[in-house]
Amino acid sequence: MMHLYDVRDKTVVVVDIFRATSCMTTAFAYGVKRITPVATLDECLALKSSLCYTAGERDGKKIAEFDFGNSPFEYMHPSLLGKDIAFTTTNGTQAIVKSREAREILIGSFLNLSAVAKHLERGENNILVVCSGWKGKVNLEDTLFAGAVVELLKDTIKAACDAPLLAQHLYSQAKTNMGEFLKHASHVQRLARLGIKKDIDYCLTPDQFNVVPVLKNNVLTVE
| Binding-site ranges for a copy of itself (CB under 8 A) | 1, 4, 134-140, 143, 159, 161-163, 165-166, 169-170, 173-174, 181, 184-187
What is the DSSP annotation of 13-76? EEE-TTTHHHHHHHHHHTT--EEEE-SSHHHHHHT--SSEEEEEEETTEE-TT-SB-S-GGGGG
Decide whether 122 or 193 has the Cβ nearer to a copy of itself.
Answer: 193
Count Cβ atoms below 10 Å from residue 156 Cβ, excluding itself: 9
At closest approach, how far in Å is the CB of 8 from a copy of itself? 18
CB 175 within 8 A of CB 198: no
Decide whether 26 or 143 has the Cβ nearer to a copy of itself.
Answer: 143
Decide whether 87 or 134 has the Cβ nearer to a copy of itself.
Answer: 134
At closest approach, how far in Å is the CB of 126 from a copy of itself? 15
CB 109 within 8 A of CB 22: yes
At closest approach, how far in Å is the CB of 1 from a copy of itself? 6
At closest approach, how far in Å is the CB of 5 from a copy of itself? 9
Decide whether 192 or 219 has the Cβ nearer to a copy of itself.
Answer: 192
